[in-house]
């Protein structure tokens, strides 16, 4: 059975690079009817944040990625790690190192002055002399002194690291807490993880983890190291480019379906297909198809996808989603007309909410350029005739309002623009927007008359 995992550290928010990693792991597990584990790597007690943990879980809930079993917390597994550390000590595969931080800093400085790569010199590896007093030792693993560490990466191919490039790295700090590369290997093995899909910033952690696996006789999983997401200029993605809290995307008005579709295409493809349902992603995804080169974040693509998903979201669901943006339509009798008129034009829910607000709320001011363009010639007589006809009719649907506009056009022998421009300014305060008949049907006869009269009275 394929078992994957996503293992974030709760030291900050979940950003989109992390969510993409989680998505790839989730898809591969679901594709194989396997198991997807969510593990919180919270052994760094000084930097952990309970708020960050909640934010990670909230993001998973929002995008709809489920996980199998309970969330695993490394901070609750310290007894397990201690047993394995002791096992390595007992077998002579790890040792206590009494080198102080000051001694290590001095050693590194000397090595750098000689043009050497800074590294621990293994002085306590087979130490038999008198141990220094008053020093809380760390535990280091005995890394191989010669040969190569070779592993097959599902994306990058065969990776070879010379053993001489690795030193005897620390597996337990002086306070007894275990280190990242040690606990990751232990947990992946004990949790039965078969496939590790993660960012290629972890590529050079892999040889260290393999050393741990081999020292303990544990099964080594398959590795897939995913290239980074870069900005449109080919540089590391920053918060300004989009590397922000996943939940910020919700606050900006993006749909989770659009964000997941966007992320799956950052580094993975299936022919020329751009739009994927979650079911299609599960059916088609295979990590061996992940690109070897970095992918570029493209905001325009995300907005295009989001517009597609908004357009195809049922109005009933949009009503609920818009409540987060201060628009309450549940009891509005023309909500269907409103949403049908606007959702074709919106790239985000925030835009949709803003456009709805422009229709539902009476304009407080009028666009200066629009006034210069619309309030010319006999605009006043045209709007006065429109109001006069509207007051005499029983109107409800867009076609009813459009009929009155046609009557004015015919009677005054004018083009539609002669009434459309001043009418649009009166209704919306600006020259752009959806079909006027839709707008009037949404706000109703009385509000339409009120807004037109307000413009007439404002500019006598």
| Annotated binding-site residue numbers for ATP | 239
**Closest by alpha carbon to 31, among 195, 256, 188?**
195
Annotated binding site: 239
Tokens of 422: 């001043």
Distance, CA of 269 to CA of 259 (rounded, Å) = 15
Crossing angle of helices 335-342/436-458, nearest 10°? 100
Tokens of 19: 């969510």
Q: Please classify residue 235 by burial: count the beta carbons closer than 10 Å to its beta carbon, then call 0-12 exposed, 13-18 middle and 19+ buried.
A: exposed
């Amino acid at each position: 059975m394929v078992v994957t995992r996503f293992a974030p550290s709760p030291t900050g928010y979940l950003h989109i690079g992390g969510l993409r990693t989680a998505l790839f792991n989730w898809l591969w597990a679901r594709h194989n009817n396997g198991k997807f584990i969510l593990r919180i790597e919270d052994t760094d007690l000084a930097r952990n944040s309970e708020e960050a943990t909640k934010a990670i879980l909230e993001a998973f809930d929002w995008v709809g990625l489920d996980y199998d079993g309970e969330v695993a917390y490394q901070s609750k597994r310290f007894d397990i790690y201690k047993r394995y550390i002791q096992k390595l000590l007992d077998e002579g595969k790890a040792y206590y190192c009494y080198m102080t931080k000051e001694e290590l800093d001095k050693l590194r400085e000397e090595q750098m002055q000689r043009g050497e790569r800074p590294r621990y010199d293994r002085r306590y590896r087979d130490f038999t002399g008198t141990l220094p007093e008053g020093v809380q030792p760390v535990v280091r693993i005995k890394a191989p002194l010669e040969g190569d560490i070779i592993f097959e990466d599902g994306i990058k191919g065969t990776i070879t690291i010379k053993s001489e490039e690795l030193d005897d790295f620390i597996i337990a700090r002086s306070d007894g807490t275990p280190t990242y590369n040690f606990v990751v290997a232990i947990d992946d093995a004990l949790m039965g993880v078969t496939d590790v899909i993660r960012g290629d910033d972890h590529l050079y952690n892999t040889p260290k983890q393999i050393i741990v696996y081999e020292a303990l006789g544990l099964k080594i999983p398959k590795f897939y190291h995913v290239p980074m997401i870069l900005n449109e200029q080919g540089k590391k993605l920053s918060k300004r480019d989009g590397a922000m809290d996943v939940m910020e995307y919700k606050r900006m008005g993006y749909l989770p379906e659009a964000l997941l579709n966007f992320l799956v295409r950052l580094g993975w493809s299936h022919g020329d297909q751009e739009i994927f349902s979650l079911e299609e992603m599960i059916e088609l995804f295979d990590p061996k198809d992940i690109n070897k080169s970095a992918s570029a974040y493209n905001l325009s693509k995300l907005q295009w996808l989001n517009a597609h998903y908004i357009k195809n979201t049922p109005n009933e669901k949009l009503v609920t989603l818009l409540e987060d943006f201060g628009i309450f339509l549940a009891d509005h009798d023309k909500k269907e007309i409103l949403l049908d008129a606007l959702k074709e034009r919106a790239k985000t829910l925030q835009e949709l909410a803003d456009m709805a607000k422009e229709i539902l709320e009476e304009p407080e001011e009028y666009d200066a350029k629009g006034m210069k363009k619309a309030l010319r010639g006999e605009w006043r007589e045209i709007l006065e005739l429109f109001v006069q006809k509207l007051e005499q009719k029983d109107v409800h649907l867009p076609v009813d309002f459009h009929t009155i506009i046609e009557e004015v056009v015919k009677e005054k022998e004018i083009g539609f623009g002669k009434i459309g421009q001043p009418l649009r300014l009166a209704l919306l305060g600006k020259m752009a927007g959806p079909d006027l008949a839709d707008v009037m049907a949404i706000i109703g006869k009385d509000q339409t008359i009120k807004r037109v009269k307000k413009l007439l009275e404002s500019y006598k």
